[in-house]
Amino acid sequence: MHRSGPSYGNRPGLVQRLAALLIALAFVHAPALAVAADRPIKIVALGDSLTAGFGLPTNASFPAKLARALQAKGYTVGIANAGVSGDTASGGLARLDWSVPEGTDAVILELGANDMLRGIDPAVTQAALGGILSKLDARHIPVLLAGMKSVRNFGSDYAKAFDAIYPALASTHSVVFYPFFLDGVANDAKFNQDDGLHPSAAGVDVIVARILPQVETLIARVRAARGS
């Protein structure tokens, strides 16, 4: 099943490979410490335009604001923005190996919104997300899975099938689960840009505040794996 419709951002040519280069540079410039347990935690935010920060200055994107919120709490972290506008779950799976480079400590996975807006078969989306989680598990990289919910335009059957994707994945993979990435933001004009799809800077603040406890749990998993 596939329907045309709006998407979370457009997918410009070469954006994915440029994003990968920026991720690598972000990690290269992260300060290195001698003790492995104390070195900065390198997180990749793998997503679509909701992660990329469509329509916002770079410093107002979700990864940038989340990094500052964590640093304000005393965490030594770097968050690479691997958001590609217009990307689907299948697109994320296809670029996973170079979007999540060696040395990544954890991943925040936010994909599926464009699948939903395009009416892609939920089984296809679930298989792609499951493939991402399986690959990251094989690399021993802990994941925070950020869920998405369907608009109701495609009918109750589609919405039910799509909404079930993320809880099902969370039940079969050892992830930190945040059920709805746009919790507190979706359908609220004061937290969205004029398109009604992408969070404003104020909306990103809401997302960061609400997801922060789960990100701290993700960091705790990294620290536990390091033995610190």
131 is written with which tokens?
């493939």
- Name the least confident of 59-63, 153-157, 193-197, 213-217: 153-157
- Name the least confident of 20-24, 42-46, 193-197: 20-24
Q: Which residues contact 116 (CB under 8 A, 6 or more apart)?
A: 125, 148, 150, 151, 162
Please state the rounded mean pLDDT for residues 40-49.
98
State the fold for domain 15-226.
Rossmann fold (3.40.50)
Active site members: 49, 195, 198
Please state the rounded mean pLDDT for residues 5-29.
54
- Provide the residue ranges of all domains of the chain, joining segments of one domain with +: 15-226
Residue 26's pLDDT is: 55
106 is written with which tokens?
């954890």
Q: What does each C-alpha distance from 203 to 23, 57, 111 come to in angstroms?
A: 24, 14, 18
Residue 16's pLDDT is: 55
Residue 23 has pLDDT above 60, yes or no: no
Distance between CA atoms of residues 172 and 119, nearest Å = 24
Residue 34's pLDDT is: 34
Classify 45 as helix, strand or coil: strand
Indicate the average pLDDT of the chain: 89
Q: Which residues contact 135 (CB under 8 A, 6 or more apart)?
A: 93, 96, 97
Q: Which residues contact 128 (CB under 8 A, 6 or more apart)?
A: 88, 89, 90, 92, 93, 111
Element (H or E) spanning 47, and its range?
Answer: strand 41-47
The tens digit of pLDDT for each residue in 109-162 reads 999 999 999 999 999 999 999 999 999 999 999 999 999 999 988 899 999 999
Q: What does each C-alpha distance from 99 to 9, 95, 140, 147, 199 come to in angstroms?
A: 18, 6, 16, 20, 23
Residue 14 has pLDDT above 70, yes or no: no
